[in-house]
Structure 1
Amino acid sequence: MKTRSFHFLIFLFQVHFHVLAQKVAQPVDLVYPYLDSSNSRWFFFNSASRPFGMVNLSPDTDIDGAWGSGYRYESDSIKGFSHIHAWQLSGLSVLPLIDFDLESSHNIASPFSHSNEIVKPGYHQVFLDRYHIKAELTSTLRVGFHKYSFEKKGEQQVLIRLGGMLGPSQITDGSISQKSTETFTGHVINGSTSRRPLETPVFFAVKFNRPVKAIKGWSVSEITTNLQDIKGPDSGVIVSFDGNSSELLMKVGISYVSVDQALLNLESELDHWDFEKVKEDSFEEWNSYLSRIEIKGGSEKDQRRFYTDLWHALQGRRTISDFNGKYADMTSGEHKVKQIPLDNAGNPKFRHFNSDSFWGAQWTINTLWHLVYPEITEEFVNSMLQYYQDGGLIPRGPSGGNYTYVMTGASSTPFIVSAYQKGIRGFDVQMAYEGLLKNHRPGGIMEKAGYEHKTSLGGGFQHYLKNGYVPWPIPEGKFGAHQDGPSLTLEYAYQDWTLAQLALALDDSEVYKEMTERSKFYKNTFDPESGWMRPRNVTGEWKQPFDPYEYNAGFNEANGSQATWFVPHDLDGLAQLMGGKEKTIERLNASFEIAEKQGFTSGTSHSQETHPEYRRIPINYGNQPSIQTAFIFQKLGRPDLTHFWSRSIVNKVYSELNPNSGYNGDEDQGLMGSLAVLMKIGLFQMNGGTEVNPSYQIGSPIFDEIIIKLSQNYYPGEKFIIRTLNNSKENVYVKSASFNKKALNELDLRHNQITQGGELVLEMTNQEN
C-alpha cells in the first residue's frame, strides 16, 4: 500500500512538473502586439503574419491613407481583414457577414471589443459584434488562413472587396472569376502614388472548405450576379453559404506575378484545412526567431517589451517572390515576370523583397540582423542585387518591384558593406561593388532626391562633387522630397566613407582614395562661427538668419542641432572642428540635458514631430537622424556618459507597454525596434559596422544575462553571452569588463571576437568612472 502511495505521489509530481513546464512563457507569448497601435501607420501593426511574410493579414479599422491607418487601437469598428500591409502597398480586403442586404447599404463595418480579442505573433482572434461572428486569422508565408464561427442562424456570407481606398493605395480596379464551387481567382490594382509611381497588380486565389451557394456583387452602385461586370474603384462581391455548419474556413493565396502563381502559392504552402496546425506552426516559427536572443533578469515588463521590440525588428519588410521563385520586375515601368536563380535541388536561392528605405539602418538592423539573423541579411543583399540586374541600380527602398527613391543618398551601401565586413558573403561581391560604386557616381542613386522618379537633379550631387557640399536651396529647383543640402552632404560623406572601406578590403586603392577624400566633405557644411552644421547657398553664403532648432530648414526630418552630430565615421574630426574633445563632450551633454526635459523625443508620435514646440529639441530619439548620439560620448572617451544617457533613453522612450506610446516617433519597418534591442543588450556600432573586422561599442545592458545564439552556418561560435553583475536601475555604469576572463582595457569588442563565442562580464556600479 505504501509502495502504491509512493508511486502515486511520484506520478502527481511528474504531472505537476509537466504542467509547470508547459506554463513557462515562450518569447512569442511575451510579445505585446498592441504597442503604439494608437499611433499606427499602414505597415506598422501586424498579427497573422510570418517573419517577412508576403501575407500580412490583420483587421483594418482605418483605411484612408498610409498614416493613421491599418489597425488603430482606439478605433471602434473593423472595416475588413486585408492581406497586405506593406510599404506603399495593400491588397485584398475581406470580411465575413451574415444576412447582409447589399441593396440597402454598403456600410459593412462592425463594432468590436478588445475584451473579446486575442492577438499574438502569427494569430488574431476578434469577435464582430454586428454579425455575431468570431473571426480567427493566421497564415503561412504567402497564404492567409481564415476561420469564421457564426453564432447565430442566417445566411452566411463573405465579402471580397475589389476596389476603393485601402491604406496607402487606391485600389483602382479588380476582377474575380469562379473556378469551382469552392474556388475563386482574380486580381486588384494598387493605383500609383507619389512615392510608388507605377500601378502594381496583386493576384489572388480564394478557396473555401464548403461550396458557395449564391453570388452577388456590385460595381459602383449597380448590383449584379455576373462576375464579369464587377470591376472598377468601387466594386466587390459577396459569396453566400448554407447554414448547415457554424464554421467556415477560407484560404487566400496571393502573388504579384499571376493568378496561376497565387494558386501555386496556396497549394504549395497550405494543402490542408487544419487551422490549429498552421497557427501553432506560426507560433513555432516566431519562437525560433525570437529565441535567438535569450534574456534573464529585469522585470516581466522589461522582458515583454524586449521581445516586442525584437518582433518589430523583423516586421514591415515583405517577401514579394513566389514559392517557386517567380517574381514581378517593375523596374522598367512594365510588369515583367522573372525568376530567382535556383539551387541544385530546384529551390529559389533567396527571396525577393519589398522594403522601405535603409535610411538609419546603419545604427539598427545593420548590427542586429547581421549578428543574429545573418541569413536574412544575405537574402536582402541578393534581393538588392537582383534589382540591380533588372533595373540598373541598387535600390534604397523598393515597392512591389518598383523603384521608389524613398528618402535620400545611397543608404543601401552601409548595409551591404557591413555584411561583407562581417563575413556574410553568399552573394556576388564584385557585382555588389560595381553597383554600389555606380550609386556613388553620376548616373547613380545619389543624384535623386526622395521620390524623384523622372529626373536626377534634386539630390544636388553635381554640387557635392564640384564644391564639396550640397547647397540649400538647390538652385535647379524642386524635384523631389528631402532636398536638404546639409543633411545630404552629411549622408553622402558618411556613405562615401563606408564605400571606401569596401574598396580597401578589395584592394582598390584609387576608389579608396577618392571616397576617403569625399568623406571629409562634411567639414564644408560646418560653420565655425555658430558651431553648428548650417545651410549655405550655391555661392557659399551661410543661411541668414540661422536658428539651429528650426525644423526641416535644410535638415531632413531634423533640425541643425540634431543633424550636427551625423559624422559617425570621423568623430575625432568633428571634435576638432568644435574646439576639442572636452568642449565637444560638454556641448553634447548640454544637449542631452535639454532633451531630457522633453523626454528625448519630439512628442509621443511621428505626427507630432513638426509641432512648433516639440520640434525644438536638440536630440530626438523618435526619428533616425540623431539616434547614435548617446554612443558618441564613448567614442570620445567618456563611456560613463554613454551609459547614463543610453539608460535614460531606454527608460523614457523604449520601456512603455501600452497602445498609446512605444517608439514615440517613426518606427520605420524595424529600425527603432532594432535600436531598442541593441540599447537594452548594450551593443552598438557607431559607423554601422563597416570597417574591416568591425568594432562593437559596449553599452549598459538592462538585463542580468543575454545569450545570443550564433548561426553555425555563418559563425564559428555557438553563443555570445553578456553577463552583468550588480545590475539595477541605479547601477547603470560599467565598473569593469572582462571577455573570456581577460580584462578589457576599452569597452569595445571586434566582430571576430564575438562570433567566436564567449562570455562578456560587466560589473555594474552607480558611480561614474
Structure 2
Amino acid sequence: MKLYSFLLVVLSFGFFACKSEKTPDKLSAKRLTSYVNTFTGTDGPGNTYPGAVVPFGMVQLSPDNGLPGWDRIAGYFYPDSTIAGFSHTHLSGTGAGDMYDLLVMPLNSRFTESLTPEGAYRPYSKFSHDREEASPGYYAVDLLSSGIKAELTATERVGFHQYTFPKDDESQIILDLGYSLNWDKPVDTKITIEDQQTIVGYRKSKGWAADQRVYFVMQFSKPFDDAQLFKDSEKINENSVEGQFTKIVAFYKTSEGEKIKVKVALSSASIEGARKNLEAELPHWDFEKTVDDADAVWEKYLSKITIEASEAQKELFYTNLYHVFLTPSLHSDVDGAYKGADGENHLAEGYNKYDTFSLWDTFRATHPLYTIIAQKETEDMIKSFLSHYDETGLLPVWSLAGNETNMMIGYHAVPVIVDAYFKGIPMDAKKVLEACVASANEDGRQIDVYRELGYVPTGEHHENWSVSKTLEYAYNDWCIAQLAKDLGEDDIAKTFAERADNWKNLYDSESTFFRPKDANRNFISPFSPKEYSKEFCESNAWQYFWFVPHDINGLEQIVGKEQFATKLDSMFTYYPSKDDRLPIFSTGMIGQYAHGNEPSHHVAYLYNNIGQPWKTQEMVRRIIKTQYSTEPDGYCGNEDCGQMSAWLVFSSMGMYPINPADGVYSLTSPYVKEATINLENGKQFKITTENQSDENTYIQAMTLNGAPYNKLTISHQDIIKGGVLHFVLGSAPNKHIAQKN
C-alpha cells in the first residue's frame, strides 16, 4: 500500500470523528458528500486543490504550499509538507499557474523555523496529512509550526476562516497581497484599515489573466490589539498603504483554545460590491452553520444523479461529479456588477455572470452534461458568452477573471451554444448566430488563412498546431451551419457547411493520416504520425486522426471501412517506444490513445459507429478501471475544469456524446448498477442493469420503457422525457445486438 493511501485511511477516521461534533455523521447518514474525496487529483498530473468551495463559487479558499512549479499549478501538491497560507482563488485541474489571490495566514511566537530561504515563496508552517481533513465546502489542518488549527469554509462569494489558537501573547493573522505564485504577479495592491475589525482593499495582478482585479472586504470576529501595514517589507505608519507588494499583520493576545474568525468577501468590480456580497451572504459569525450550509448545497448538486453501486464505485462517481461542479466560476456580485473583458465594469441583469471557461476541454462532455443536470446554469453561461461578445466582439476562447487568455484553439463556445440551442435552453438565437459567425470570421488565430486556403498551413511558430486548428475549426463550422439552417439563414448555412468539409483538405491517402501542408498546398516531409510535432495541439497524428465528430461516416469512407477498423484497433495496441518523442500531455496511454488529454476522449466509443459495440464496452470499462481512482494521483492527466470527470460520470452511466453538439449519446455498458438522473423538469431518467458485475462487461439486450431497444445511441430528447433504459449484461460479447446504426 502506498504511504498516502495509508494516510488517507487515517485521515478519514479522524475526519469523521471531528466533523461529528458539528454535523451529523456523514457515513451513517450516507450523505452523498461523504463519498467525495477532495484530495483526488492533488498528486500526479491532476492539478486539483482540496480547499473549500461551493458549486460554481467565486471563492476557492484553499491551502498553498508556497512553492512554484508545474506540480503546484493549483497551489497545493500532495507530496509537500509546508503551507504558506490560504488564498481565495484557484484553478481546478488546469495547466495554468494563475490566481492565488489574497493569502491569509495565522502565526504566533512558536514559529521560529525558516523552512526555505527568505523570499516570495517562503512556507510558513509544516503540516502532516494525518492532521488534515476535508469534505465538500470544508477544509481543516493543524499548522504544526505554530500549534494553530486552521479551518476553512465558503459561500459563493465569501471565504470564511476559523483559527483556533494556543495561548500566546504574539498571535498574528497576516494578509499578504504581495504573495504570488507561478505566472501570477501583483501590479497594484491596496489595504485600508477601516476599524479594528475591518480592512478593505484590492489586488490587481497580471499573469495568464492579464488584467485581474480582486476587491475585498475582510472582517475579524475579534478586534485586533494592533496592526502593522507594510509596503515592500517597509513598515508604513498610516491607516492605508498602496503599492505592488503590500501586507498587513494583525496582532492578538490569545488564550488557550481561543477561536478567531475571519470573513473575506470578494468582488471583481469594487470594494462596495464586496461589502454587498458579505452582507448578503454571510451576515453572521456562525462558522458551523456555514459549513453545514455548504454541505447542504453540495448535497443538492450531487443528488442530481443518484446511483446504486458499490461503496468504491460511489466514491469514484461522486468525487468526479464534485469536480464537474467546481467551474465555471461565478464572476458577478449579488447586484450583478462585474469586471468585463473590455476592462470596464458591467451589470449582469437577471442572470449570474460566469467565467473560467476552459472551452477546448469542456465543450466535449462537461457542457453536454450541464444541459442535462444544470440547465439554469447553462442558460446563464450562454448569456455570459454573449456578454463577452458584447465587450470584445468575439465569443470567449479561454476566459478567466474577466480576461480573454486566447489559450488553446478553436472557437468552442460555438458547439456549447449550438448544443444548448437544440436542447431547448432559452437564448437569443439571432444574437448567438451573429456571435458565432463573428468568431468564425475573425482574422486572428490563423482563421483568416484558414478561410482563404481551406486549412491552416504549417508555420515557424513552435505551437503552430496547423492540423489541429484545421480539424477543430471545421467542426465548429459544422455547428454554425446547423444553427443557421434551423434559423432559416440559408446562405450562412451553405457557407459553413462547405467549411465543415475542410477536414478533408489535410487527409493524406498515402499515410492515411491528417498531415500538415505548407501554404503552397504541399504535404510536408518528413512526417511521422506517432511523434509529437508543433502541428498537433498537445498530441500527435494518431491522437488527432479521430477528430471529425460531425462526420465519422465521411471519415470512414475516405479511409475505407476495413482500414478504419484496423486503424481503430491499432490506436489501442500500437504502444510508443521508449525513444518516441511524445508531448507532455501524453498520459494515461493505452497504445496511442491518451486518456490524459482531451482529443482522445471520444475514441473508444467509435467502435459503435462501425458495428463493433462490444469493443467500446471492453475499452470504456478498461479506461474506467485503469485511468481513475480516488487516491491523490487518481487522474491520469490534468482534470481540466471538469472534463476528465465528466467523461467518468457519463461513462459510468453507459453513455457519451461523440459529437458534443448533436444531442445524441453513444451507448456502452454502465459501470454502476443503477443511475437515476433527477431532471429539472421534475421527471426522472433511470439507467438500470441486470447481472451487473466486474465480469459482465457486455450488453446482451436493452429495453427503453419496457420495449426492446436496438440502437447504439439515445437522444437527449428521450432522456429529458424521462423513462427507464435497461441493460441486460453478460460475460461474453453479443455481436448481434445493436449493429451499426
Instruction: Give 3-state SS (helix, strand or coil) of 2:383's partner.
Output: helix
Q: For the Cα contact (< 8 Å) 1:39–1:68, is it kept in 2?
A: no
Residue 466 (structure 1) shift: 2.3
Does structure 2 conserve the Cα–Cα contact (< 8 Å) formed by 1:217 and 1:237?
yes
Structure 1 residue 109, shift from structure 2 partner: 1.1
Map of 1:93 onto structure 2: 103
CA contact (8 A) 1:356 1:668 kept: no
Q: Deviations over 1:466-493 (max 9, x none)?
A: 22211112xxx54xx7421111110011
Please say if 1:699 is aligned against 2:668: yes
The one-letter amino acid of 1:525's match is L
Contact 1:162 1:231 (C-alpha < 8 Å) held by counterparts: no
The separation in 1 between residues aligned to 2:72 and 2:163, in whole angstroms, is 27
Q: How far apart, in 2, do the equivalents of 1:149 and 1:75 lie?
A: 23
Q: Which residue pairs with 1:450 in the alignment?
A: none
Equivalent in 334, 337, 345 of residue 323 of structure 1: 334
From 36, 52, 56, give the equivalent of 1:52.
56
- Secondary structure of the structure 1 residue equivalent to 2:63: strand
**Matched-pair identity in %:** 32
Q: Which residue of 2 aligns with 1:3?
A: none
8 Å Cα contact 2:44-2:635 kept in structure 1: no
1:721 equivalent to 2:721? Answer: no
C-alpha distance in 1, partners of 2:398/2:638? 16
Is residue 38 of structure 1 aligned with residue 7 of structure 2? no
Deviation at 1:553, TM superposition (A): 3.5
Distance 1:545 1:616, change over 3 A: farther
Task: Name the CA distance, whole Å, in 2 between partners of 1:468 and 1:211.
Answer: 66
> Structure 2 vs 1, CA of residues 29 and 264 (structure 1 numbering), >3 Å: closer, same or farther?
same
Q: Report whether the alignment pairs 1:305 with 2:316.
A: yes
Quick one: distance in 2 between partners of 1:144 and 1:700? 42
Amino acid at match of 1:609: F
2:167–2:254: 8 Å Cα contact kept in structure 1?
A: no
Structure 1 residue runs without a partner (length 5+)? 1-18, 342-348, 448-455
Q: Secondary structure at the match of 2:700?
A: strand
SS across alignment from 1:363? coil
Q: What letter corresponds to residue 432 of structure 1 in structure 2?
A: V
Contact 2:507–2:515 under 8 Å retained in 1: yes
Pair 287,482 (structure 1): closer, same or farther in 2 beyond 3 Å? farther
Structure 2 residue matching 1:174: 3-state secondary structure? strand
- 1:155 partner SS: strand
Amino acid paired to 2:53: S
- C-alpha deviation, 1:183, in angstroms: 0.5
1:539 is displaced (CA, Å) by 1.0
Equivalent in the alignment of 1:662: 634
Residue deviations 1:82-102 (CA, integer Å, cap 9, x gap): 001146433100101113799
Choose the corresponding residue for 1:767, options 729, 732, 739: 732
Q: Does 1:24 align with 2:24?
A: no
Q: Decide whether aligned partners of structure 1 residues 420 and 596 sit closer, same or farther in structure 2, where only a CA change above 3 A counts.
A: farther
Written as runs of structure 1 = structure 2, the 5 A alignment for 1:154-165 is: 154-165=169-180
Inter-partner Cα distance in structure 2 for 1:586 and 1:746 = 23
Whichever residue aligns with residue 508 of structure 1, its letter is E
- Which residue among 523, 528, 552 is the counterpart of 1:542? 523
Q: TM-score, normalised by structure 2?
A: 0.90
Give a deviation string over 1:734-754, Cα, whole Å, max 9, x none.
Answer: 111100011112122222211
Cα separation, 2, equivalents of 1:602 and 1:127: 44
The CA deviation at 1:231 is 3.0
Is it true that 1:738 corresponds to 2:712 in the alignment?
no
Pick one of 660, 676, 679 that aligns with 2:651.
679
TM-superposed deviation, 1:314: 1.1
Is 1:135 matched up with 2:150? Answer: yes
**Structure 2 residue identity aligned to 1:413:** V
The separation in 1 between residues aligned to 2:131 and 2:718, in whole angstroms, is 49
What's the CA shift for 1:527?
0.4
Paired residue type of 2:287: F
Specify the alignment match of 2:15 in structure 1: none
Which residue pairs with 1:485 in the alignment? 466
CA distance in 1, matches of 2:644, 2:538: 15
In structure 2, C-alpha distance between the alignment counterparts of 1:699 and 1:637, rounded to whole Å: 13
Q: Secondary structure at the match of 1:91?
A: coil
Structure 1 residues 71-80 or 399-408, which shifts more?
Answer: 399-408
- The 1:356–1:756 alpha-carbon spacing in structure 2 relative to 1, beyond 3 Å, is closer
In structure 2, distance between residues paired with 1:27 and 1:116: 23
CA contact (8 A) 1:224 1:230 kept: no
Cα distance, 1:383 vs. partner?
A: 0.6
Tell me which residue corresponds to 1:373.
Answer: 374
- Give the 3 Å change call, closer, same or farther, for CA 682–101 of structure 1 in structure 2: closer
| Pairing 1:338-417 to 2, within 5 Å after superposition | 338-341=346-349, 349-417=350-418
Aligned to 1:12: none
For residues 234-245 of structure 1, the aligned pairs below 5 Å read 235-243=246-254
Aligned with 1:547: secondary structure? coil
Matching residue of 2:435: 435
Residue of structure 2 in register with 1:270 after alignment: 282
Q: 2:544 aligns with which of 563, 568, 573?
A: 563
Tell me if 1:647 matches 2:648: no
Q: 1:367 to 1:229 in 2, by over 3 A?
A: closer
Whole-Å Cα distance in 1 between the matches of residues 67 and 385 of structure 2?
A: 30
* Inter-CA distance 264–383: structure 2 relative to 1 (3 Å threshold): same
**Aligned partners of 1:567 and 1:705: how far apart in 2?**
32
Contact kept, 8 Å, 1:218 with 1:230, in 2: the verdict is no
Whether the 8 Å contact between 2:111 and 2:146 is mirrored in structure 1 is no
Partner of 2:680: 711
Query: Among residues 593, 615, 622, which one is paired with 2:596 in the alignment?
Result: 622
Q: Distance in 2 between matches of 1:122 and 1:373?
A: 19
Give the letter aligned to residue 267 of structure 2: S
* Correspondence for 1:74 among 43, 61, 79: 79
Measured in 2, the distance between the counterparts of 1:553 and 1:353 equals 32
SS in 1 for 2:639: coil
* Residue-by-residue CA offset, 1:491-522 (whole Å, 9 max, x unaligned): 01111111111112212222222111111111
Kindly provide the amino acid, as one letter, of the partner of residue 573 in structure 2: E
Distance in 1 of aligned mates of 2:666 and 2:590: 29
Structure-1 separation of matches of 2:576 and 2:530? 16
Provide structure 2 residue ranges, at least 5 long, that are not aligned to the other structure.
1-23, 736-741
1:465 matched residue in structure 2: 451
Residue 592 of structure 1 is matched in structure 2 by 572
The partner residue of 1:119 within 134, 142, 167 is: 134
Q: What amino acid sits opposite 1:321 in the alignment?
A: S
The alignment partner of 2:451 has SS state of: helix
**SS of 1:39's equivalent?**
coil
Q: Is the alpha carbon distance of 1:585 and 1:251 closer, same or farther for their aligned partners in structure 2, counting shifts above 3 Å?
A: same
Deviations 1:720-743 (A, max 9, x none): 000011111121111111000111
Q: SS of 2:468's equivalent?
A: helix
Matched AA of 1:736:
A
Contact map agreement 1:143 1:251 (CA 8 A) in 2: yes
CA contact (8 A) 1:359 1:407 kept: yes
Do the aligned partners of residues 64 and 159 (structure 1) sit closer, same or farther apart at CA in structure 2, a change above 3 Å counting?
same
Deviations 1:241-295 (A, max 9, x none): 2325711011111111111111111111100011010000000000100111111
Cα RMSD, aligned residues only: 2.5
Kindly indicate whether the alpha-carbon contact (under 8 Å) linking 1:394 and 1:435 is maintained by their aligned counterparts in 2: yes
Q: Counterpart of 1:55 in 2: which secondary structure?
A: coil
Q: 1:590 to 1:576 in 2, by over 3 A?
A: same
